[in-house]
Structure 1
Amino acid sequence: MSVIYMLLTISICVAVVFFFVFILSVKSGQYDDAYTPSVRMLFEDELVTPKENKTTNDKIELNK
């Protein structure tokens, strides 16, 4: 039974260390995306689609 407590304690300590290293890497910018902003401008026209304005269409129908 004492082996289970020892393994549980060691695994929690390892998990805390990995979590701490993960937080440090996120704060240092390790996971920042440096590629997408340079490519986004090439596909910007495809992402933006004009939306119809409902209020304009309603006003036109009311005026008829």
Structure 2
Amino acid sequence: MKVEITMKKTMRISKIFDVTEEQLDDLMRGENPFFDELEEEIETGDIEYDYAVNDIDGNEIIPWE
């Protein structure tokens, strides 16, 4: 039986910021004024792996968690 296995790696950090109204507006529009600062710390965060398995016809055998 042939199957397709897809794996993903998620890296997660969180940090508390005091934000201005302008920064909050940026965040609400999908812009992250803190991106560079967060990216500097991403390697120190949590890492999570997940995978899913489908047969060659695209039928799900094992779903993403």
TM superposition score category, shorter chain reference: under 0.3
* Bigger relative CO (Cα 8 Å, ≥ 6 apart): 2
User: Could you say which structure has the larger radius of gyration?
Assistant: 1
Q: TM-score, normalised by structure 1?
A: 0.25
Give the structure-2-normalised TM-score: 0.25
The structure whose residues are more often helix, as a share, is: 1
